[in-house]
Chain A
Amino acid sequence: MMENSALPTRKVLTFISRRAPYGQGGAKAMLDMVLSAAVFDQQVNYVFMDDGVQQLRRGQEPAAIDAKNLSAAFSALPLYDVSNIFVDAESLQLRGLTPDQLVIDTQVCDADKIAELIRQSDVVFNL
């Protein structure tokens, strides 16, 4: 098979999502970036931190505010081969959330792990 000469070998792209889902567009913007990167068959790390962990909270019914359900899209991430999904433990704890209250299975991690993911990345998007 012909390689696309314009593109180098696979890169590691890390996406740190730090915005709550509906008040502003950042969470959805980040999800769209992650899905695009996954389509390009790149190694993707998806990290939820700060208010970003609220995106994963169970029981969201955004139809109440005429918004599309963001959390439903997370269930589809395995279909895009996005399986490196991390949630910052401290952000969860500060917000009184536990892993069983989240819509998908994730790897709960500490700041050292996020630092390590950054250090292993070619490009980091943080929004």
Chain B
Amino acid sequence: MKLTVVIYSAPSSQSAWSAYQFTRTALEAGHEIYRLFFYGDGVLNSSALSVAPQGEFDLIRAWQTLIAEHELDAISCVSSALKRGIIDTQEAARYERAGASLAAGTTLSGLGQLVDAALASDRVVSFGA
């Protein structure tokens, strides 16, 4: 089946880990992930600048690995992201910020991509806190 996973929560919340674990398991079961959509605090899962404390599971890094390995379409909502300091090089230039902070493999885009995913997927599963 074609699944879309929506992540509303920051990596500090277990529900972000649950979303990751669900996505990983769905891929293992042979399902297609149509899109990962990070919304609200969920965009913090796509930070390139976060550092996990030593000895703790690095969820952000794990997302990046999963996205790269399976070439997943991962989108962070642009308005949520800008507000929370998750910006790509283009936005950094436009708003004259010191640097970009969006993790590789994730792109910034609008809510239309979430609606598109809802229309194109067989199932949508949301994770929030």
Contacts and interface: CB of A to CB of B under 8 A. Distances in A.
B81 interface: no
B119 interface: yes
A40 B40 contact: no
A7 B40 contact: no
A127 interface: yes
A26 B9 CA distance: 11
A6 B111 contact: no
A33 interface: yes
A58 to B, nearest CB: 27
Which interface class (under 10, 10 to 19, 20 to 34, 35 or more) fits A?
A: 20 to 34
Interface string A1-44: 00000111001010000000000011001001100110110100
Contacts, number: 48
A11 B124 CA distance: 13
B126 A126 contact: yes
Given A123-B124, A127-B128, A33 B119 contact: no
A28 B41 CA distance: 13
B112 interface: yes
A81 B100 CA distance: 38
A127 B8 contact: yes
Interface of B: 6, 8, 39-41, 79-80, 110-112, 114-116, 118-120, 124, 126, 128
26 contacts: A6-B116, A6-B120, A7-B119, A8-B120, A11-B119, A13-B115, A25-B40, A25-B41, A26-B40, A29-B39, A32-B111, A33-B114, A36-B115, A37-B115, A37-B118, A39-B112, A40-B112, A40-B115, A40-B116, A40-B119, A42-B115, A122-B118, A123-B124, A125-B126, A127-B126, A127-B128
Interface of A: 6-8, 11, 13, 25-26, 29, 32-33, 36-37, 39-40, 42, 122-123, 125-127
